[in-house]
Structure 1
Amino acid sequence: MNDLSPVSSPRQGSDAEVLRPHAEEQYAEELHLLAKEDDRPRPPGWKLSPWAVTTYLLGDGDRVTPKYVGARRVVEVAVATLATDRALLLLGVPGTAKTWLSEHLAAAISGDSTLLVQGTAGTPEEAVRYGWNYARLLAEGPSVEALTPSPVMRAMAEGRVARVEELTRMPSDVQDALITVLSEKTLPIPELGREVQARRGFNLIATANDRDKGVNDLSSALRRRFNTVVLPVPATAEEEVDIVARRVDQLGRSLELPGAGTGLEEIRRVVTVFRELRSGVTEDGRTRVKSPSGTLSTAEAISVLTSGIALATHFGDGVLRPADVAAGIVGAVVQEPVSDRVAWREYLETVVRERPGWQDFYRACRGVS
């Protein structure tokens, strides 16, 4: 049985009114350009060739903007995995762009990044397999019309890429509902005596936070169905500054805020603070510092700076200054009220205070600490 029609949602207005368009909508021109010029072999069901998908993700330095800043080989392995019959697991600490990469992979391969299951402790098995319209089920009994397909079932029937976010947050029995899907490429519907067989082009991308080990570890049977790609934190400060600046610019445009250009100095400071506290040592390697309990990820740096730009725009002169980011930094660093506050104050007094050119930043952070 492969005749399940997708339930399409009407658009809620134009793209200009949408706070965050889906990747395939936001970058439709780039995807169209790549598809038009792409003369390389495409796996069955793919909108682009693996080479073009990689170009879409990493950019070409001209007409295609980079969506992921990192090692090319990481992206190539992820794309090559999806061109086989193995599913892809993106693993990494929070803030390493796992969700971002999975969305853009699905958009480039299938032209649809919306077939998404969000994993939580309360995710039911129906979110992975299928559910029922209980009004019709009671009135008519089991039927195709009473069936409510999950995003995974729809991806199988349509030959698209499904996404599962935070896989290890889901209960183990719900995780294991994927085993038959990934190994046999079928999803049985015993109530109807039928099954959905995956069409060519179907695959699945899952993400997991490696700090969640021990929450709901994957069974060995399920882990074997995935090829795992570990997404590293940015290797250098310059690379992380580049990532943060790009994302702050993108978010600023959607929120009608100024770009990050005038605040590049503050971006460098925030990235430096986060990297030093993450690693437990200053960038020159001379001073050891205590690491707080939080992750202080690239994503959190983006959030701090976006909030800072909003403060500068609405309550300042529009120029990002230390006072605009100080409260956000303290809020990100001090998660545990006692130990994190001690670590932050020690870092502030032994590193920030003594750093040339950082006195205004030191005063701003000291004022909100």
Structure 2
Amino acid sequence: MTTAVLRPHAEDEYAAELAALATADDRPRPSSWRLSPQAVVTYLLGGVTADGTEISAKYVGPRRLMEVAVATLATDRALLLLGVPGTAKTWVSEHLAAAISGDSTLLVQGTAGTSEESIRYGWNYARLIAEGPSEQAIVESPVLRAMRDGKIARLEELTRIPADVQDTLITILSEKTLPVPELNTETQARPGFNMIATANNRDKGVNELSSALRRRFNTVVLPLPDSADAEVEIVSRRVAQLGRSLELPAEAAALSEIRRVVTVFRELRSGRTEDGRTAVKTPSGTLSTAEAISVLTGGLALAAHFGDGVLRPHDVAAGILGAVVKDPVADRAIWVEYLETVVRERDGWADFYRAGQEIAGR
């Protein structure tokens, strides 16, 4: 009996696409890779295989960025995906690992409390006390398993990890070796091993990478969508996917409502209205594409469970307020000013203006 899960791993959710690509893939593959570099890019950006299988786009953005990312992983340099929050760094990392290794689960989540053991290895202390140091007493980290199996390891939020722990990676990435001095042994990486790390470029100064470690990475900066249409496409696709996975009994979000949310986020993010005529103040939040997706998904849940199943302006207004107002004083004033100077005067936005006023307590 198969147990449903809320969010399948990429290699499971898109298994049919990966299998179709592998069957049709006749290009050279680096050692231990499931697909050729060209097929990995097709998996990420979408396309059609020779047998007519449609490959859905996982990333909407410049093709060259994905080509550089995939080519990097075929070399001896690790890949660092850098960008502001919500630019799909984790999403791209997961799908790259799924397409290359067939396994996106070898993940270390970086935090201020991440220890060397999380990256290297730990010990089963019951066995260590009873038997002394041995291979059986080692608790392997995801990185160690990736080295042993020739797969891609993933490291989230690299700059959140303390600097002395970050430097644990230097030997692993340069020598492709992880020494185990307690046993006087080492684990050498098998072909296919590499690492994808992500970092938020707004975290500059938190725990900046040393020059020695930075040299071990090739950095690819993932930008925010460069056009409203591209951002609407990304948001529409992800909201539809999340709505299905959450089994929300609501109609699909109307394109007009998605475009409205995206427009609000882009204008507040850039400090100028779409037509370029009016300057607006920028709040302290990031107002990322990921937050727009969350606002619309939350709105669908409200429409499904407390409305008539149709997404309307008052279903998304509260979510937008929560995304915009991080500072309860300064950001609230910015939001109210935006409502009065931009939203109030915009044709077809009267319902949204009233919903925004109500939620803001005006």
Pairs aligned (count): 356
Q: Which residue of 2, 27, 33 corresponds with 1:14?
A: 2
Question: Given residue 49 of structure 1, which amino acid in structure 2 is its aligned partner?
Answer: S
CA displacement at 1:81 relative to structure 2: 0.3
Runs of 4+ in structure 1 off by over 3 angstroms are 258-262
Match of 2:258 in 1: 267
Aligned to 1:233, the other structure's residue is in SS state coil
Residues 278 and 55 (structure 1), Cα distance of their counterparts in 2 relative to 1, 3 Å cut: same
Q: Contact between 1:253 and 1:259, CA under 8 Å: does it hold in 2?
A: no
CA displacement at 1:262 relative to structure 2: 4.2
Match of 1:176 in 2: 167
Q: Contact between 1:274 and 1:301, CA under 8 Å: does it hold in 2?
A: yes
Q: Which residue of 191, 201, 212 corresponds with 2:192?
A: 201
Q: Which residue of 24, 34, 50 corresponds with 1:37?
A: 24
Question: Given residue 47 of structure 1, which amino acid in structure 2 is its aligned partner?
Answer: R
Question: Given residue 179 of structure 1, which amino acid in structure 2 is its aligned partner?
Answer: I
Percent of paired sites with the same residue:
75
CA displacement at 1:257 relative to structure 2: 1.7
CA displacement at 1:260 relative to structure 2: 6.7
Structure 1: give runs of 5+ residues left out of the alignment.
1-12
Match of 1:221 in 2: 212
Task: Determine the C-alpha separation between the residues in 1 that align with 2:197 and 2:251.
Answer: 32
Question: Given residue 171 of structure 2, which amino acid in structure 1 is its aligned partner?
Answer: T
TM-score, normalisation: structure 2: 0.97
Residues 108 and 18 (structure 1), Cα distance of their counterparts in 2 relative to 1, 3 Å cut: same
Structure 2: give runs of 5+ residues left out of the alignment.
none
Question: Given residue 20 of structure 1, which amino acid in structure 2 is its aligned partner?
Answer: R
CA displacement at 1:259 relative to structure 2: 7.0
CA shift digits 1:224-258 (9 cap, x unpaired): 00000000000000000000000001111110125
Q: Contact between 2:253 and 2:300, CA under 8 Å: does it hold in 1?
A: no
Q: Contact between 1:130 and 1:148, CA under 8 Å: does it hold in 2?
A: yes
CA displacement at 1:263 relative to structure 2: 2.0
Aligned to 1:227, the other structure's residue is in SS state strand
Residues 205 and 260 (structure 1), Cα distance of their counterparts in 2 relative to 1, 3 Å cut: farther
Q: Contact between 1:103 and 1:113, CA under 8 Å: does it hold in 2?
A: yes
Match of 1:249 in 2: 240
Q: Contact between 2:251 and 2:310, CA under 8 Å: does it hold in 1?
A: no
Aligned to 1:88, the other structure's residue is in SS state strand
Task: Determine the C-alpha separation between the residues in 2 that align with 1:43 and 1:307.
Answer: 42
Aligned to 2:207, the other structure's residue is in SS state coil
CA displacement at 1:261 relative to structure 2: 3.8
CA displacement at 1:138 relative to structure 2: 0.3
Question: Given residue 319 of structure 1, which amino acid in structure 2 is its aligned partner?
Answer: V
Question: Given residue 124 of structure 1, which amino acid in structure 2 is its aligned partner?
Answer: S
Question: Given residue 10 of structure 2, which amino acid in structure 1 is its aligned partner?
Answer: A
RMSD between aligned residues: 1.0
Task: Determine the C-alpha separation between the residues in 2 that align with 1:49 and 1:222.
Answer: 28
Question: Given residue 31 of structure 1, which amino acid in structure 2 is its aligned partner?
Answer: L
Question: Given residue 353 of structure 2, which amino acid in structure 1 is its aligned partner?
Answer: Y
Q: Which residue of 19, 26, 51 corresponds with 2:13?
A: 26
Task: Determine the C-alpha separation between the residues in 2 that align with 1:261 and 1:331.
Answer: 22
CA displacement at 1:265 relative to structure 2: 1.1
